Chains A and B, each alone.
Chain A
Amino acid sequence: MAKMTIAEALRQAIREEMQRDERVFCIGEDIGIEGGFGGAFTVTLGLSQEFGHERILDTPISETAIAGVAIGSAIGGMRPIADVQYSDFLFCMMDQLVNQAAKLRYMSGGTLSVPMVMRAPVGATARGSQHAQSPEAFFTHVPGLKIVAPATAYDAKGLLKSAVRDDNPVLVFEHKLLYGSKGARSEKGSLSPIGEVPEEEYLVPIGEGVIRRPGKDVTIVATLLMLYRALSAAESLSNQGIEAEVIDPRTLVPLDKELILGSVRKTGRLLIVEEDNLTNGWGAEIAAIVADEAFMWLDAPIKRVAAPDVPPPFAPVLEREYVPSEQKIIDAVLSIF
């Protein structure tokens, strides 16, 4: 098995899918330009030499153009992988994503499909309010979109390949601090989780969560960077005699709710960690599902740890306070014991 970063795993997934299927192509800003970074975080680095500029398509700085070409070509039978430099820019494409991509299969009675993948980096990395959001929750509210959020190299490759093969629009949210990007695109404070990726072909099914750490006392649900903070917190809590079960849903839509419900039936306590603002996040939906379907199994109120309801601040010291920390996760867990 090869060891690689998430950026490398994503690149490998794209390469394999482009080799497998001629209809697959990439579109984005500066993803294939000579001397460029390979997109904002090196994921497509080198692919234009391999596949040419017709399949690694650079666009002007226009997110609406990217979305329009991606959605239109998907309707026409292509399999686009669109690259958004920062997930904050998805808001430029809101009409195309919500009113077109998500709805066309329904509105056409199933005669049209939009097999499009859109990759978007999330997370606060000292870039200010408009390059730091984690907007997954917005899109979980839109029927017709699938939402994945891989936190390991294995999942990144397996989920991206599943997304390319899915006949519906899939948004792939990646975290800036987890890419393990090198050189100029390495983000300060990156975790660079390097994981093992099998040589042979594999897929990670969309809609299946995974238990990252088994425990019996409390269930912690977290994705992306928050997953790693939750895992660190779980280790500290273990020293205090509390064994946390950490769940990585991997997919937010469709959600593997049975995995979460089963874990809560085991532990009786639930904490959800989100990097996004607290109010109306996907964590609120999980809390509501558990309150509804596992009420009798709860031994304490459901807790959420998330960013406060303000935009991500620019100042690094404020940003450190803004993004949920390991300590905040520990405190929240202790508050329900």
Chain B
Amino acid sequence: MSVNVLVPPLSQTMDTLVIVEWLKKIGDPVTKGETLFTVETDKATLEVESPATGILSSVLAGAGDEVKVRSIIGIIAEPGEAFEEALTSVDNSLNENYPPGAPPSTDRQQTINVAGPKGEPLPPERINRLFASPRARQLAQLKGIPLVELRGSGTGPRQLIVERDVNAYIERQKSRPRVTPVARRMAEMTGVDLSKVAPAKPGTAITKADVETSLHEGSGAPASAQSSFQAIRLTPTRKTIARRMHESHQITAPVTYMREVDATRLVKLRERILEKLSEDAIRPTYTDFLVYITCRVLSKHPALNAYFDGETVELHDAVHMALAVDTARGLMAPVIRDADSKGVEELARIRGDLIDRTLKGTVTPNELAGGTFTITNLGALGIDHFTPILNPPQVAILGIGRIREIPAVHKGKIRIRSVMGLSLTCDHRVIDGAPAARFLLDICNLIESPDLVWL
């Protein structure tokens, strides 16, 4: 069965997109998930993944064409499926756009429309839910079959898992030998494909010994040896991180602006301050200086100290600075309240305590919420530049790279200078390129000339 390539509703405001280029040509094999073509929205060029694995058998719109959202612009045929057949099977709906939720009934390979009201994106847990008919769910529950085992076998309308899928599964299970729990666990750990293992005596269960034999004989060994893996269930924290990261990339339009800045004078300033501090005093890190500098600059760029919910921009008077912290449980971002009203020393003290408790896991949920801007520092790990992911509804995040000494041109001569990489990600839905660059420029000015904070 062929699968239609549809133009995804990438932009909330536009009904049409422009195709920039196809990365595959007719006849090319494609894999589900790999980039198939790129499109241009009102502001950005975005990659679109292939909806299926197969052969790109037809392309109905080329580079430069303006195409309607949800229209069919290509067809992916199953390997071996005749292209002509794929083409005729879609002929009826050619150039006809799918109204939301109502694909033409002649098209048996229907896609699930994943847009909410007014095209708003749905949360991932709605999109990734199992689509099964009530009847199939009832039968599966009755027979104790986890529906997730039937994922992808949906043969019903709109690729629903229907009763016959459940029945087919039951039939498959019947024809399969039983497996002892120990053998099952061993197979999972060694990556042995149980469907390729036969019990020693026909009609009996597959035992640990059978799995071992299979492992030693290497029946289907190359595959099973390579596919050895460990399955790790995500912790709730990790799941939250995964969901939030994915959501962020789904709902924002992130653009990262990178530049290098001469931090020599900031390094010297910090050294001078540290000299004056007593042994037991809290020693400000570069993060503390950058929090301080960022707060100063944010006061001149309120648009970046803001929330955006897709409709309204909310500008904040105070800066509540979130700091990305790498913990054993995963990424956390504790918040320094009213960071803009604090000096470097106080920032250092609060930051030290906050990060300490974040690492220990005793930080309160309250302290993890309410940030208006985020700073993330990977400098200690040798990173110069990266593309920080926004923390919605925040509209900007500043990534700090390492400070390293390089030979640089300074006042017409080659000198050893300390330079630092900065990576600023802004949500292009509300922050255009120039304002983002101006903000970053002001940050750099203060790093290059820390004296200017007095202005």
Report which of A296, A300, A331, A335 forms a contact with B162, defined as CB distance below 8 A: A300
Output the residue of A295, A332, A335, A337 with the most chain B CB within 10 A. Answer: A335
Q: Does A297 contact B (CB under 8 A)?
A: yes
Q: Does B157 contact A (CB under 8 A)?
A: yes
Report which of B105, B108, B158, B162 forms a contact with A299, defined as CB distance below 8 A: B162
Neighbouring B residues of A337 by C-beta, 8 Å: 156-157
Known: A335-B157, A336-B157. A297 touches B105 (CB 8 A): no
Question: Quick check: A298 and B105 within 8 Å, CB to CB?
Answer: no
A268 to B138, CA, bound (A): 12
Neighbouring A residues of B136 by C-beta, 8 Å: 299
Q: Does B48 contact A (CB under 8 A)?
A: no
Q: Binary interface profile of B, 89-112, with partner A (CB < 8 Å = 1, else 0)?
A: 000000000000000011010000
Question: Quick check: A300 and B160 within 8 Å, CB to CB?
Answer: yes
A298 to B156, CA, bound (A): 12
A332 to B157, CA, bound (A): 11
Question: Quick check: B138 and A300 within 8 Å, CB to CB?
Answer: no
A315 to B158, CA, bound (A): 36
Question: Quick check: A296 and B106 within 8 Å, CB to CB?
Answer: no
Q: Does A301 contact B (CB under 8 A)?
A: yes
Question: Quick check: B135 and A298 within 8 Å, CB to CB?
Answer: yes
**Residues of chain A in range 289-333 having any CB-CB distance to chain B below 8 Å:** 295-301, 331-332
**Chain A, interface residues (CB within 8 Å), range:** 10 to 19
Question: Quick check: B106 and A268 within 8 Å, CB to CB?
Answer: no
Question: Quick check: B157 and A296 within 8 Å, CB to CB?
Answer: no
Known: A335-B157, A336-B157, A337-B157. A299 touches B106 (CB 8 A): no
**Residues of chain B in range 142-188 having any CB-CB distance to chain A below 8 Å:** 156-158, 160, 162-163
Q: Binary interface profile of B, 191-207, with partner A (CB < 8 Å = 1, else 0)?
A: 00000000000000000
Question: Quick check: A268 and B105 within 8 Å, CB to CB?
Answer: no
Neighbouring A residues of B108 by C-beta, 8 Å: 335
Question: Quick check: A295 and B134 within 8 Å, CB to CB?
Answer: yes
Question: Quick check: B106 and A297 within 8 Å, CB to CB?
Answer: no
B136 to chain A, nearest CB (A): 7
A170 to B160, CA, bound (A): 43
Question: Quick check: B135 and A296 within 8 Å, CB to CB?
Answer: yes
Question: Quick check: B133 and A335 within 8 Å, CB to CB?
Answer: no
Report which of B105, B133, B137 forms a contact with A300, defined as CB distance below 8 A: B133
Neighbouring B residues of A336 by C-beta, 8 Å: 156-157
Question: Quick check: B105 and A296 within 8 Å, CB to CB?
Answer: no
Report which of A298, A331, A334 forms a contact with B134, defined as CB distance below 8 A: A298
In the complex, the chain A residue whose C-beta lies closest to that of B104 is A335
In the complex, the chain A residue whose C-beta lies closest to that of B163 is A299
Q: Binary interface profile of B, 117-135, with partner A (CB < 8 Å = 1, else 0)?
A: 0000000000000000111
A251 to B260, CA, bound (A): 81
B108 to chain A, nearest CB (A): 8
Number of residue pairs A-B, CB distance < 8 angstroms = 41
A300 to B134, CA, bound (A): 8
Question: Quick check: A296 and B163 within 8 Å, CB to CB?
Answer: no
Question: Quick check: B157 and A298 within 8 Å, CB to CB?
Answer: no
Report which of A299, A331, A332, A334 forms a contact with B133, defined as CB distance below 8 A: A299
Question: Quick check: B163 and A268 within 8 Å, CB to CB?
Answer: yes
A268 to B134, CA, bound (A): 9
Output the residue of A295, A299, A335 with the most chain B CB within 10 A. Answer: A299
B85 to chain A, nearest CB (A): 18
In the complex, the chain A residue whose C-beta lies closest to that of B107 is A335
Neighbouring A residues of B134 by C-beta, 8 Å: 295-299
Neighbouring B residues of A298 by C-beta, 8 Å: 133-135
Question: Quick check: B106 and A331 within 8 Å, CB to CB?
Answer: yes
Known: A331-B106, A332-B105, A335-B105. A297 touches B135 (CB 8 A): yes
A335 to B160, CA, bound (A): 12
Neighbouring A residues of B158 by C-beta, 8 Å: 301
Question: Quick check: B157 and A268 within 8 Å, CB to CB?
Answer: no
In the complex, the chain B residue whose C-beta lies closest to that of A265 is B135
A97 to B160, CA, bound (A): 46
Q: Binary interface profile of A, 113-148, with partner B (CB < 8 Å = 1, else 0)?
A: 000000000000000000000000000000000000
B2 to chain A, nearest CB (A): 17
A296 to B140, CA, bound (A): 12
Neighbouring A residues of B137 by C-beta, 8 Å: 296
Question: Quick check: B138 and A297 within 8 Å, CB to CB?
Answer: yes
A301 to B162, CA, bound (A): 11
Neighbouring A residues of B138 by C-beta, 8 Å: 296-297
A335 to B135, CA, bound (A): 17
In the complex, the chain B residue whose C-beta lies closest to that of A300 is B157
Neighbouring B residues of A331 by C-beta, 8 Å: 105-106
Neighbouring A residues of B157 by C-beta, 8 Å: 300-301, 335-337
B359 to chain A, nearest CB (A): 49
Q: Binary interface profile of B, 224-258, with partner A (CB < 8 Å = 1, else 0)?
A: 00000000000000000000000000000000000
Question: Quick check: A300 and B156 within 8 Å, CB to CB?
Answer: yes
A297 to B133, CA, bound (A): 9
A331 to B157, CA, bound (A): 13
Neighbouring B residues of A295 by C-beta, 8 Å: 134
Neighbouring A residues of B106 by C-beta, 8 Å: 331, 335
A292 to chain B, nearest CB (A): 12
Neighbouring A residues of B135 by C-beta, 8 Å: 268, 296-299
Neighbouring A residues of B162 by C-beta, 8 Å: 268, 299-300
A185 to B267, CA, bound (A): 104
A331 to B158, CA, bound (A): 15
Which 5 A-B pairs give the minimum distances between C-beta atoms?
A335-B105, A299-B135, A299-B133, A268-B135, A296-B138
B residues contacting A by CB (< 8 A) are: 105-106, 108, 133-138, 156-158, 160, 162-163
List 18 interface pairs A-B (beta carbons < 8 Å), by A numbering.
Answer: A268-B133, A268-B163, A295-B134, A297-B135, A298-B133, A299-B133, A299-B134, A299-B136, A299-B162, A300-B160, A301-B158, A331-B105, A334-B105, A335-B105, A335-B106, A335-B108, A335-B157, A337-B157
Q: A332-B105, A335-B106 are in contact. List 4 more A-B contacts (CB 8 A).
A: A296-B135, A297-B138, A298-B133, A335-B157
